[in-house]
Amino acid sequence: MPPVQKKEIRANGRGTRARVPEFVKKFRGVKNWKEAGAWLEWRGIEDIECITPDQAGVARGKMMPSKKFTSDTSLALPSAVFMATISGDYPEDGHGFVYPEDDGDLKLEPDLSTLSIVPWESDPTAQVICDLVHQDGRTVEFTPRNVLRRVMDAYAKRGLRPVVAPEIEFYLVNKNPDPDYPLTPPVGRSGRAIGGGQGYSIAGINEFDELIDDIYHFSEAQGLEIDTLIHEEGAGQLEINLRHGDPVELADQVFMFKRTIREAALKHDTYATFMAKPIQGQPGSAMHIHQSILDRKTGKNVFTDADGGETPAFRHFIGGMQRHIPNALVMFAPYVNSYRRLTQAASAPVNTKWGYDNRTTAFRVPRSDPAARRVENRIPSSDANPYLALAASLACGLLGMIEEIEPDAPVGTTANEDDIDLPRGLLEAVELFESDESLCELLGTSFASTYAAIKKAEFETFMEVISPWEREYLLLNV
């Protein structure tokens, strides 16, 4: 971890000593370039990582010396970076998607409110999340951070402000350099391989005390706040809950947390994976999203009326999720592996039902005070891009409020053993996504066509791989 300055005062060049401004000592974010220069100098930062999430949520960008960063340097990335599949391939033209012939540059604009150190680097290094604009300053519609901002703007035009709180599950697994071999749970401090069925076990967390300490230390150094951390049901499966707040800020935090957790695990010779279903026979990993909507003027929850009761906006939000979430599933379950998590009689919902404190429904209304009334979307996998998952979930709820969609009656019984209401595979999910014109319009048509093309290309790449199941049952039997 880069050394942190401890001095409260410094010479000002006139023989007196000046107190260090409070903004310099903040772990995360500054207001302007002048503050950024002071913040970097006080920490002795040598390098800056200028990063932005691609369609998969992978950090892309450039690294540069800190002096160059603060000297009004123009940063750019090829537009093709945001049209690539997870395997680095590119989709074919068609269905509204056209690969740009010139592969022109998009400008990176640092969001200085996200400036923080990179605590796992040996040299003093900082990082900043960047937005993308065209060379003439126009917003780039198809980049993930901008997709979420587009949805936020749609709420703002109606005098509304969403508040969200994500919960992210992940697995710790033994290092696995050969992808032909299955993943296996790691060995904890007890010296034994971690077993399943340890939901909320403190002993399960204690098995990884030193690794978890590093997650906390890395997070604190970046100004990231963890609400709670628990051991989930899977072998070596953990969950981090984040405090509620602005959707873009929370998506930024999930983006940074994924990076942080992977780095902390590697420090302990372990992998952290956010695959939806990494280990056969173990539960999948989710990214549950808690959502409420506030009136921008009053700050009050529009899901609750003056008497503490439920409002039409609350019902319509749920109705919109019931109608549109199946069409948006490709943004919550973005890979072929994601659909291995979505199975009947499992902890992941495969329905579009809702209920009060019912974890077998897709949309759960947790017990809370009326002022904190919210809707939890339990469908997204932890492999989802947080910007796109939040954008899609909020978009579906907003469409429900706009279209005044009434929900079905709430369910108080087990709902996950009934018929499956969601697409069963990636191609079906893409087809439903492309057919929902109102959803695609809200998210941005250029994004929708780009994202659908990427998912189709990823499916074709997957189809080139022969699985162990095929060798096991077809090799000598057909």
Q: Kindly report, residue by residue over 23-56, the tens digit of the pLDDT.
A: 999 999 999 999 999 999 999 999 999 999 999 9
DSSP secondary structure, 341-357, as one string: H--TTSSS--S--EEET
Cβ 336 vs Cβ 425: under 8 Å: yes
pLDDT of res. 98: 80
Q: Count other C-beta atoms under 10 Å from residue 64's C-beta.
A: 15
Query: pLDDT grade, residue 13 (50/70/90)?
Result: very low
Question: For residues 335 and 2, what is the distance between their CA atoms, to the nearest angstrom?
Answer: 37
DSSP secondary structure, 101-144, as one string: SS--EEEEEE-GGG-EE-TT-SS-EEEEEEEEE-TTS-B-TTSH
pLDDT of res. 418: 78
Q: What share of the chain is helix, strand, coil (3-state, %, to 5)?
A: 35, 20, 45
pLDDT of res. 8: 44
Question: For residues 146 and 391, what is the distance between their CA atoms, to the nearest angstrom?
Answer: 10
Cβ 21 vs Cβ 38: under 8 Å: yes
Whether residue 393 is predicted with pLDDT greater than 50 in this model: the reply is yes
pLDDT tens per residue across span 428-447: 999 999 999 999 999 999 99
pLDDT tens per residue across span 57-97: 999 999 999 999 988 778 999 999 999 999 999 898 877 78
Environment class of 102 (CB within 10 Å of its CB; exposed 0-12, middle 13-18, buried 19+): exposed
Bigger pLDDT: 126 vs 104:
126
Query: DSSP code of 94?
Result: B
Question: For residues 202 and 79, what is the distance between their CA atoms, to the nearest angstrom?
Answer: 46
In order of 16, 17, 25, 191, the CA distances from 13 in angstroms are 7, 8, 21, 58
Q: Count other C-beta atoms under 10 Å from residue 421's C-beta.
A: 15
Whether residue 17 is predicted with pLDDT greater than 70 in this model: the reply is no
Q: Count other C-beta atoms under 10 Å from residue 377's C-beta.
A: 28
Of the candidates 321, 293, 318, the residue with the CA atom closest to the CA atom of residue 158: 293
Tokens of 64: 């540069």
Query: pLDDT grade, residue 345 (50/70/90)?
Result: confident
- φ/ψ of 80, rounded to 5, equals -65, -20
pLDDT of res. 101: 65
Question: For residues 312 and 304, what is the distance between their CA atoms, to the nearest angstrom?
Answer: 9
Question: For residues 50 and 130, what is the distance between their CA atoms, to the nearest angstrom?
Answer: 6
pLDDT tens per residue across span 395-424: 999 999 999 999 999 999 999 887 889 999
Cβ 96 vs Cβ 142: under 8 Å: no
SS3 of residue 297 by DSSP? coil
Question: For residues 228 and 426, what is the distance between their CA atoms, to the nearest angstrom?
Answer: 32
Strands 116-117 and 105-110: unpaired
pLDDT of res. 201: 82
Q: What b/e sequence results for 430-447 when a residue is b if at least 16 CB atoms lie within 10 Å of its CB, and e otherwise?
A: bebbbebebbbebbbebb
pLDDT of res. 105: 92
What mean pLDDT is predicted for residues 308-335? 98
Question: For residues 206 and 279, what is the distance between their CA atoms, to the nearest angstrom?
Answer: 22
